[in-house]
């Protein structure tokens, strides 16, 4: 690879990283907004509804940039290949996360505020924890930080515990004959969206580990992915 070609590739990779950071910032902001929307914040709900076009633009830009590098900058080896292939997968995870924030916000509009307000503390905590996970996981990928990535994977346990707390609380409402318990499926689904966002953040973290080690960490352990060095 000539110096000129390498210089162009370096610029392209920097552009992809910049777009990933922008997408990460949007997703984390939307996750936090979902925590507000879940307890009746109309401004947050409206802001999330308007965010689809920005998500589409960022996803399209990152995917196009990754494809350009894969098609035009050959041969890619080592960290360059792992970065581009990882980024291509991460953009899908970030897109799913952003879509879930809108889905959760819309679901809240179908539920009386009285029903969701009982879970305000849990939703706020889930939003804060998962937003931080999204930020930390993406930053770990961009910074090749496996320690931070593994911390994100560990942090998912906290999200699961809060989800279990919400489930237990809803069961108690049913047993007590509370009228708001009729909205159990909707309220539980909002909590489930946060739990899934945590899972996706954990998956992003696994790509951060892959970038450094060439090994993809899954629920079943380490799944080696062959790469050229």
Q: In this predicted model, what pLDDT tens digit does every residue of 84-122 receive, in sequence order?
A: 999 999 999 999 999 999 999 999 888 888 778 888 899
Residue 6: what pLDDT? 66
Say which residue, 147 or 80, is predicted with more confidence: 147
Q: What is the mean pLDDT of residues 127-138?
A: 98
Q: Using one digit for the tens of pLDDT, what is the confidence trace for 134-156? A: 999 999 999 999 999 999 999 99
Say which residue, 180 or 166, is predicted with more confidence: 166
Residue 110: what pLDDT? 83
pLDDT of residue 21 exceeding 90, the answer is: yes
Residues 99 and 59: their CA atoms lie apart, in Å, by 12
pTM score, whole prediction: 0.88
What is the pLDDT confidence band of residue 39, given thresholds at 50, 70 and 90? Answer: confident
Q: Using one digit for the tens of pLDDT, what is the confidence trace for 167-226? A: 998 888 878 776 566 778 888 999 999 999 999 999 999 999 999 998 876 655 444 444
Helix/strand/coil (H/E/C) assignment for every residue in the chain: CCHHHHHHHHHHHHHHHHHHHHHHHHHHHHHHHHHHHCCCCHHHHHHHHCCHHHHHHHHHHHHHHHHHHHHHCCCCCHHHHHHHHHHHHHHHHHHHHHHHHHHHHHHHCCCCHHHHHCCHHHHHHHHHHHHHHHHHHHHHHHCCCHHHHHHHHHHHHHHHHHHHHHHHHHHHHHHCCCHHHHHHHHHHHHHHHHHHHHHHHHHHHHHHHHHHHCEEEECCEEEECCCCC
Residue 132: what pLDDT? 98
pLDDT of residue 2 exceeding 90, the answer is: no
Q: What is the mean pLDDT of residues 159-172?
A: 91
- Which residues touch 223 (CB under 8 Å, ≥6 apart)? 215, 216, 217
Residue 118: what pLDDT? 83
């Amino acid at each position: 690879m000539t110096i000129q070609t390498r210089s162009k590739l370096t610029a392209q990779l920097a552009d992809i990283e910049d777009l990933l950071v922008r997408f990460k910032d949007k997703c984390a902001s939307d996750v936090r907004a979902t925590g507000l929307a879940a307890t009746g914040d109309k401004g947050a709900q409206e802001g999330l509804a308007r965010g689809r076009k920005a998500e589409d633009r960022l996803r399209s830009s990152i995917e196009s940039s990754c494809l350009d590098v894969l098609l035009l900058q050959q041969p890619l080896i080592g960290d360059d290949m792992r970065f581009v292939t990882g980024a291509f997968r991460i953009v899908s995870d970030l897109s799913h996360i952003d879509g879930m924030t809108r889905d959760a916000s819309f679901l809240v509009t179908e539920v009386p505020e009285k029903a969701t307000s009982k879970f305000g503390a849990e939703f706020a905590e889930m939003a804060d924890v998962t937003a931080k996970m999204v930020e930390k996981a993406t930053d770990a990928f961009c910074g090749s930080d496996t320690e931070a990535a593994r911390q994100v994977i560990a942090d998912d346990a906290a999200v699961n515990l809060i989800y279990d707390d919400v489930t237990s609380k809803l069961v108690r409402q049913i047993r007590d004959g509370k009228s708001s318990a009729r909205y159990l499926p909707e309220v539980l689904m909002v909590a489930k969206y946060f739990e899934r966002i945590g899972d996706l953040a954990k998956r992003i973290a696994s790509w951060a580990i892959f970038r450094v080690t060439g090994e993809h960490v899954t629920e079943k352990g380490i799944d080696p992915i062959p790469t050229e060095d």
